[in-house]
Amino acid sequence: MSIKTMRGSFKKIILALCLAAILLITGAGMSLASDDYGQLISDLGPFFGQLHNLTPEQLEQAVEISDAMAQNFFNCLSDEEEAALKDTLDIDENTYLNIKIGLVDDVSGYLPNNPSGGATGYQGFLNAIDPVSPDEVSDEEYLNGLINWLHDNSINPETLAQLNSKGISFDEFVMFMVKLSQIQFGPGLVVTDGVRDQFDTILDWLVSVSDGNLTRDDLTACGLTVDCLSAMYDQLTQDQKDQLEAILNTMGLIVQQQTEPEVGTDNGATDITCNSATLNGNIINGADCNERKFQYRQQGDPDWIDAGDETGTFGTGAFSFGLTGLDPDTTYEYKAMAHNSAGWGESQVVDFTTPLCIEPEPPLVESNQPADGATGVDVDADTEISATFDRDVTLNGGGVVIRDGSDILQGVTAALNGRTLNISHPALQFETTYTVTIPDNCVQSGGVGNDEHEWSFTTKQSSDVYCLTLDLQYNDGNDTVTASGTLTRRYGDVPERDVSVAIVIEKGGDIFALGQMLTNQNGEYEFVFSTAGFGAGTYTVMVTANAVQAQGSFTIPGGEITAPTVTTENAADITCSGATLKGNITSNGGADCDQRKFVYRRQGVTEWTDAGVETGTFGIGAFSFNLTGLDLNTSYEYSAMAHNSAGWSVVTKTYFTTLATCQVIPPTVTTSSATNITTGGATLNGNITNVGGADCDQRKFVYRKQGVTEWTDAGVETPGPYGSGAFSFALTGLTSNTPYEYKAMAHNSAGWGEGQVVAFTTTKSGGGGGGGGGGSSCELNVDTYVPAANAENVAIDAVVKVTFKQNIAAVDLTKLSVKDAQNNVVSGVKATVDGKVLTIAHDNFNFNTKYTISIPYGTVKRADCSAQNASLNWSFTTAAEEKKGCAYTDVPESYWASGVIKELCEKGILNGYPDGTFRPRNDITRAEFTKIIAVALGLAEENPATPTFKDVSPNDWYYGVIEAAAKANLVKGYGKGLFKPNAKITREEIAAILIRALGKADEAAANASAVTAFKDDHNISAWARGSVAVAVKEGIIKGYPNGTFGPGKNAIRAEVCAMVSRMLAKL
């Protein structure tokens, strides 16, 4: 079959074009139309720039590989296409074979014979396209000669004429060649879709510049296809491919493949409201993206909706979009997406649910600081003025104002710290009433601003800056009275030195003594007056300093009889139901007493109850009474009193708290300083201050040399019984001039109790030879502890110190520690030494807590010798927090639950907070409600050895009440033995507990399938349905005004008060 018949002359031109393209790509040559190729050489500059990094060896490899690729191209042509090519080139078979096998010769015929830059061959070619110095230009003469050589030896003129006839100019033909030579490949020379796209783009360009003379179908029909071009690379050997890839990589034509971006959703949707949400995404890695967006849909819908579409250049990092127009109470799902040159990447699908749209209430102020109506407020600029809201809020402009009457205080600003709005201010004026106004919308919660809130307080009087104390000691043995005290700044206890103190002693309007002196460096003063000639009677003493006054009185016995003076001492032998009350008549007022007694009451109760009333004749001295029948774990206050013909002594209260359980505890023992110390012995002294609920059956001492580990018994007494009181033992057989330490111990049925360790040093033996000279000892002994060992009702800010009998110096003060009964270390502990006193500063203690001070051996030493302290330990208990009244600043009488809140408070079931608030809108936890119901029902706490619930341990404050409620079958746990004490209790859980407390569990079981009238009846849990039905019928729990019950809602404190009050009314 004839070529002309099969394809026609047009297709011959296309085949010639194809061959020309292959020859240029592989370096075999191209046809040109002029001998002056200066402009062409300039246009080929970027291409030469890619070639100039090659070595001569790589160039030689490139030419050889190009020859192989050209042969591969011929191999991909069909017989008809080969015949057409011969016909187009007008060559015979021999010439055609020479073309197929001689392409390399076209280049090698020129390079060895033409130098550039002093070199021939491939180095000469590189010199021609890349000058050896910056001042040189490309060797145009060389390049012109090379192009001419290729022109004369590669393609005949007829081929160029045929190209021109199809609208392809010479310049366009050259650009076509250059474009083909600059195709980029990925690693491995894989013909990817990207490579095919480059081929397609170049072929489309060729069609576009042919002025309509060529189409893609024309090119395809003649074999100029992507597949045929690809075959040139596929048919290379692996070595040739590796060499070609290295060459193309040097030319910058190998690029790394890109992948789609990796996208995540961060933490999912945030800021979810009933009709909006913020969608969050994150581009984790991948090449720069040109687009990013989200897609979302309602769960169950098949179609995605675009949202937040952005175009531009985006690297890795988070992005988000605020989506609006959503439906309430609906579950949506979304995914984040990003696009780069490799395509779209998308995250996993995540979902979120919009809540119901509920009209929010404005945030309310729970408490103020200072409280509304407070007086005596400090005037310093750092005095706290704040308002705490009932939920988290955000500042919305501020505008807080503090007024002094009609004048606005300048320099007032407000800042939020959680729920608390702290109001900064300048120093205030004395004796001034200030009004604080928080305006509307000062803060917001959920887009709703607060209502205006206002409260007032009054600052203290100027004299309140100072504190003046007065202590009077009358000594009728030498007819003197001593008046002493201190002047300090009330806030910070800073002593005021060199301040004039005036004193007046008067009786019945007559002045008996006047005096004046300056305070010393510790703010102390002391007056001593002779009372000779004063006469019998009661005298008033008034001291004045810095406009501050202190007043006291003393009595000179004689013709005028006054009421006796009685001190109330700390209770002893405290058990779960009793205690020994102790008092001391220190002055009979000039006449024997005819009665003495104690009065006591529970803290918070108004009326006193008499106890231990005795009639007879009583002088000065101690007396006591064993009080029983008390409630466990309850705080009491009591006073010792005495009566003579002038009347009863005044009440002087002290406090104690009965034990939390009725079990016997080990006795409380103190160790006193040793006495009668000799070269070989000493008297050891101890005191049982509390028998722990049962008489002691043993008491003893243990002692050892300092530095020795083992203790030795001494003075063992058995079998008893022994009550509270002092005991001692004369120890002998000791070594002279040796430091010892010892402690007192006592035992009852609960075990051993022991006192603190006390040290002493035996005296030195007398010298020999000339008669017994006196010796000296180096010992360090404790004089007093403050607070005293085993003291009770200690103030939470009490001074803690040890006074030694000798001057001391610090050795290592970091050794000492202050811990509570749970071994928690008290913060802020800092020890200082001054003379004989070791003072231990600390942050405030907690109320009603036992603390132990530990001063290990070697903390301090005697100042004038080497004796170091023995290990010292003593304990004391802080006072119970004084119960406040049942009126709260945040519960006005108009509040719907004010009556039941007051009722439960007065019954001791549920109290407020130390700042005088009740916080009626606060939630209640399961543990808190269990305590409320246990106290309301009078359940005694239980303390089983094995806890009922895995998450309620004996160390938890609520252990006893939860165990008691569980034993009474009032509370149940969750699966796996858990109680979840800190979870907020729900209304349906409360209903179940209250119904059990009423003894109506059977009735609730019978109503397990009852249907209530509430709109949300379907939300009531199956286990609670019967209890809810009975609780509603009994009127214990009511629904909400909108017709719902809210079974899963958390109950607030006000609601709980109402529910418990109604339950108690049913009992």
Handedness of CA 127, 130, 131, 132 (dihedral sign): negative
Beta strand 453-459 pairing with 374-377: parallel
Model pLDDT, residue 864: 85
pLDDT for 917 equals 87
Q: Is the pLDDT of residue 25 over 50?
A: no
CB neighbours of residue 773 within 10 Å: 9
- Model confidence at 103, pLDDT cuts 50, 70, 90, reads very low
**What superfamily in CATH does domain 262-353 come from?**
Immunoglobulins (2.60.40.10)
* Residue listed under structure tokens 């000799």: 678
pLDDT at 461: 67
- In terms of pTM, does the model score above 0.75? no
pLDDT at 18 over 80: no
Q: What is the pLDDT of residues 875-916, one digit of tens each?
A: 899 987 765 578 888 888 888 888 999 999 988 898 888 778
Look up residue 1030 and give its two tokens.
Answer: 């009975």
- CA atoms within a 13 Å half-sphere pointing along the CA-CB vector of 322: 2
> Which pair of structure tokens corresponds to residue 91?
């060559």
Q: Is the separation of the CB atoms in 377 and 352 below 8 Å? A: no
Beta bridge partners of 387: 368, 421
Q: Poorest-confidence range of 221-230, 915-924, 929-938, 1043-1052?
A: 221-230
pLDDT tens, position by position, 317-345: 999 999 999 998 899 999 999 998 888 99
CATH domain 565-657 topology: Immunoglobulin-like (2.60.40)
pLDDT at residue 976 greater than cutoff 70: yes
Alpha-carbon distance 488 to 498, whole Å? Answer: 12
Q: Return the pLDDT at 468.
A: 84
Question: Which CATH number among 3.40.50.300, 2.60.40.10, 3.20.20.70, 3.40.630.30 corresponds to the domain 668-765+777-878?
Answer: 2.60.40.10
The C-alpha angle 823, 828, 833, rounded to 5 degrees, equals 105
Measuring CA to CA, how many Å separate 104 from each of 149, 560, 882?
Answer: 13, 144, 109
The residues that bridge with 488 in the sheet, in sequence order, are: 467, 495
Provide the residue count of the chain: 1067
Listed residue (323, 329, 297, 288) closest to 309, CA to CA: 323
Angle (CA) 1054-1058-1061 rounded to 5° is: 135
Taking each helix axis from N to C end, the angle separating 121-129 and 56-76, rounded to the nearest 10 degrees, works out to 100
Rg of the chain in Å (alpha carbons): 51
What is the per-residue DSSP string for 511-523?
Answer: EEEEEEEE--TTS
Instruction: Report the pLDDT value the prediction gives residue 130, as an integer from 0 to 100.
Output: 72
| CB-neighbour burial class of residue 100 (10 A; exposed 0-12, middle 13-18, buried 19+) | middle
pLDDT over 50 at 157, yes or no: yes
Min mean pLDDT across 18-27, 226-235, 699-708 is at: 18-27
Q: What is the pLDDT of residues 1014-1041, one digit of tens each?
A: 889 999 999 999 999 999 999 999 887 7
CA–CA separation, 34 and 138 (whole Å): 19
- Mean of the per-residue pLDDT values of the chain: 82
Q: Pick the closest to residue 307 from 327, 325, 330 (CA basis).
A: 325
Asked if residue 547 has pLDDT above 80, the reply is: no
Residue 695 scores a pLDDT above 60: yes
pLDDT in tens, 179-190: 777 788 878 777
The arithmetic mean of pLDDT across residues 758-780, rounded, is: 61
How would residue 1061 be classed by pLDDT, with cut points 50, 70 and 90?
A: very high
Q: What is the Cα–Cα distance from 502 to 550, expressed in whole angstroms?
A: 11
Distance CA 344, CA 290 (A): 10
Sort strands 565-572 and 548-556 into parallel, antiparallel or unpaired: unpaired
From the list 1066, 1065, 1060, the residue with the least C-alpha distance to 935 is 1060
**Residue-level pLDDT at 107:** 53
Spatial contact of 656 and 689, defined as CB atoms under 8 Å apart: no
Q: Is 876 exposed, middle or buried (0-12, 13-18, 19+ CB in 10 A)?
A: buried
Q: Distance between terminal CA atoms of the chain?
A: 118
Return all residues near 276 (Cβ < 8 A) that are at least 6 apart. Answer: 322, 323, 324, 325, 326, 354
- Write the CB contacts of 770 (distance below 8 Å, at least 6 apart in sequence): none
Give DSSP secondary structure letters for 947-1011.
Answer: -SSTT--TTSTTHHHHHHHHHTT-----GGG---TTSBPBHHHHHHHHHHHTT-HHHHHHTTT--
Residue % of the chain over a pLDDT of 70:
87
In this predicted structure, the answer to whether residue 380 has a pLDDT above a threshold of 60 is yes
List of residues 6+ apart from 190 with CB closer than 8 A:
none
3-class DSSP state of 1031: helix
Mean pLDDT computed over 966-971 = 92
Residue 86's pLDDT is 56
- Does residue 69 register a pLDDT over 80? no
DSSP for residue 751: E
- Give the pLDDT of residue 33: 38
Q: What is the mean pLDDT of residues 575-599?
A: 88
- What's the CATH fold of domain 365-460? Immunoglobulin-like (2.60.40)
For 645, residues 6+ apart whose C-beta sits below 8 A from its C-beta are: 561, 591, 594
Give pLDDT, residue 50: 78
Which of 589, 581, 637 lies closest to 614, judged by CA? 581
Q: Three-state SS string across 624-666, please?
A: EEEECCCCCCCEEEEEEEEEECCEECCCCCEEEECCCCCCCCC
- Least-confidence region, from 534-548, 740-754, 968-982: 534-548
Identify which of 862, 673, 700, 686 has the alpha carbon closest to the alpha carbon of residue 760: 673
When mean pLDDT is compared across 359-368, 557-566, 577-586, 842-851, the lowest value belongs to 557-566
**C-beta separation of 180 from 201 below 8 A:** no
Helix (H) or strand (E) holding 81: helix 79-89
pLDDT beyond 50 at 6: no
Q: Which two tokens stand for residue 268?
A: 């999912």
Per residue in 590-636, pLDDT tens? 788 999 999 999 987 888 999 999 999 888 889 999 898 888 788 89
Q: What are 974-979's contacts with CB under 8 Å, separation 24+?
A: 976/950, 977/949, 977/950, 978/949, 978/950, 978/951, 979/926, 979/948, 979/949, 979/951, 979/952
pLDDT at 625: 93
Per-residue pLDDT band at 516 (split at 50, 70, 90): confident
CA distances from 23 to 173, 180, 723 (A): 13, 11, 121
Distance, CA of 137 to CA of 1017 (rounded, Å)? 94
Residue 81's pLDDT band (cuts 50, 70, 90): low
Residue 296 in this model has a pLDDT that exceeds 90: yes
